[in-house]
Chain A
Amino acid sequence: MSSCQTDRTVPPSCGRWATLRLGQIAFQRHFDRHGFRSTCACVCGRSDMAACGKGLDKFMFSLRLLRNLQLQNERFLSTSVCRLAVGGSSEQPPKFTPPSKPVIVDKTQTVASTRSHLSPEFIPPRQRTNPFKFYIERKDMIRRRKVLNIPEFYAGSILAVTMADPNASGKMNRFVGICIQRGGHGLGATFVLRNIIDNQGVEICYELYSPRIQQIEVLKLEKRLDDNLMYLRDALPEYCTVDPDMKPEPISPTGEVPVNKLKVRMRPKPWSKRWERPKFNIQGIRFDRSLTPEQMEHAQKWAQPWREYDMLKEYDTSKLEEQILSEVQREMSK
């Protein structure tokens, strides 16, 4: 019996699924109409051998049960088939149909692809540049994306990036951190990962399309209340510490990206920037813990309430986004 091997699933051509769950291990049995049974390997998302080992005895016991059940069913089915064949009055043996080809489902690719998401660096800024330049840049970006899978992530998600480094032992170095900012447009798009290692805050700014990046893994996909989490530099260290050996959490392929409505507690003032001011428009800080209501009111003096009515500052990208998204999806599927 195979256990904890590759993720292979056999889709039912027609037939019944029987799913059993044993703790972390789930496996499916499939009864084909011709009585062929195929056992699928267990589906454990990237878990280690130790976890499999724990459930192994339970696994073996239930397997024996099932095998017995199955043999009975099989006998039943096979006799029925034979009877049917005999009933047909032709002396030819039942036609051999080979089992359906196993379809290898690559979990890394299909997980996020059902949700149509356009990475923000594809959307061109409002400039006087020829759109042709963005078109050529997009072609290069798609070429790079075909080689390296750049997953969907937002500010607030936890990522692990492996980069080629000639000075590191093993030529690669891996950094795990929380994404605090995504900037840039086109090929120069960047993202900043922050983590606290040995009581020292470390931020690394990576370029998404740099050929030195070997792998980008999303360990936890979630959004926060803001797009820019630079205030985490002035927050308590517990909010930025990410375990470097963290295991990736399963990402649901459909549905909304979960929004973490966490309100962060800050260190005492002075901060690197005056985050309470309305120009930053930060929702994710617990200001009542660090500022008095008088200070909050004083910060409102820098409010610019006319900005939301300024029509020249409007930049509606919806139509452009649809166009670019359809183009990108078309090119990626080629």
Chain B
Amino acid sequence: SRSPSHLVGCIRTVKTTTWFDEHLTEDNQEYMRKTTAEEYRRQTAEKLNPLKDEPWQRHEWTEGSRRVGLVAVKLGMVPVWSKTGERHVVTMLQVQDCHVIKHLSKEEFDGHTAALVVGGKNVSPFNRSESQMEMFRNAGVPPKQKVTTFKVSDNALIKPGTPLYAAHYRPGQYVDVTAKSIGKGFQGVMKRWGFKGQPATHGQTKTHRRPGASGPGGDPAKVFKGKKMPGRMGNVYVTAHGLKIWRVNTKYNVLYVNGSIPGHKNCLLKVKRHTRASLCMHLFMFVCFPVRECASQ
């Protein structure tokens, strides 16, 4: 039996009791699928054309301004060798169908900074709620699997509907990558918090991986809040900071990012620019891959 490559990444994420095509005939099901695919292609093509879709004005870069990030998919890890012969391991992130979906002004968002809502990978519209679909319809963009907000300074605002590509970053820049870590389920205290446990021999009765004592004793006479105990581990958002970008493949939109990244293969990540002053390589423009260049590619 061959490895089913066409089923890669096929995990059941829809847990409703009815499918969209439960009461449709087979022809209608096929028709629905075909039309949505064509619609996606039409929508993405529309957004690439600068005449139909006027981009917003581009402003000058100033010290302290923030740019949008990207939503990418984690592919896997490969080794990479520098010119001096040192070997480093990098993770490949692919930017698939990343579009800006909405612009939230200062007042709408939190009163201090404006925000841009960005979405990644396209998915089917049939299992999304009406409110989500409304947002995508307003932007004229196919529905996305992951939708995140990026805090952005006023001079870096981008029109909703613009596609974002891997060329947004250059090799040598540093990024922070946020993703949901792999879920481990209910785990004991040794795996979850790194406790030492107890010895295997020398008379230990039924105590090898237990937490041991739970606090000081009679004076507080309670267990403090936040005590490290067994529980569900993983499946939380974790950020890896200060990762260097070694290589950018603009043809396939792949970023080669140093080191390892939380999350399983084919998971969606939020990629942001790292803001520590020592590691910043400032790019003196904002959307460095303007819409006109996208269309010509």
Residues of chain A touching chain B, judged by Cβ–Cβ distance below 8 Å, are 126-133, 136-137, 140, 164, 166, 186-188, 207, 209-212, 311, 314-317, 319-320
Contact = CB atoms under 8 A, between A and B. Distances in A.
B276 interface: no
B266 A130 contact: yes
Interface in B77-131: 78-79, 81, 85, 87, 92, 94
B3 A130 contact: no
A199 to B, nearest CB: 31
Contacts of A314: 1
Contacts of B199: none
Given A128-B266, A130-B8, A130-B9, A320 B2 contact: yes
B87 A210 contact: yes
B249 interface: yes
13 contacts: A128-B8, A128-B9, A128-B265, A131-B8, A132-B75, A133-B76, A136-B75, A136-B252, A188-B78, A209-B79, A210-B85, A211-B81, A311-B1
Nearest to B256: A136
B78 to A, nearest CB: 5
Nearest to A166: B85
Interface in B1-28: 1-3, 5, 8-9
Interface string B62-86: 0000000000010110110100010
Contacts of A187: 78-79
Given A311-B1, A320-B2, A129 B76 contact: yes
A211 B85 contact: yes
B254 interface: yes
A129 B73 CA distance: 11
B92 A136 contact: yes
Interface residues of B, number: 22
Contact of A131 (B5, B87, B92): B5
Contacts of A211: 81, 85
B75 A129 contact: yes
B9 to A, nearest CB: 7
B96 to A, nearest CB: 10
B92 to A, nearest CB: 6
A188 B265 contact: no
A316 B249 contact: no
B87 to A, nearest CB: 7
Contacts of B9: 128, 130
Contacts of A128: 8-9, 264-266
A311 B1 CA distance: 8
Contacts of B249: 136
Contacts of B76: 129-130, 133
Contacts of A319: 2
Contacts of A320: 2-3
B81 A210 contact: yes
A126 B75 contact: no
Nearest to B76: A133
Given A137-B78, A316-B1, 9 more contacts: A128-B266, A129-B8, A130-B73, A132-B252, A133-B76, A133-B92, A187-B78, A207-B87, A211-B85
B8 to A, nearest CB: 6
B248 to A, nearest CB: 13
A210 B78 CA distance: 12
B149 to A, nearest CB: 27
A317 B1 CA distance: 9
Nearest to B85: A212
A207 B79 contact: yes
Contacts of A212: 81, 85
Interface in B211-235: none
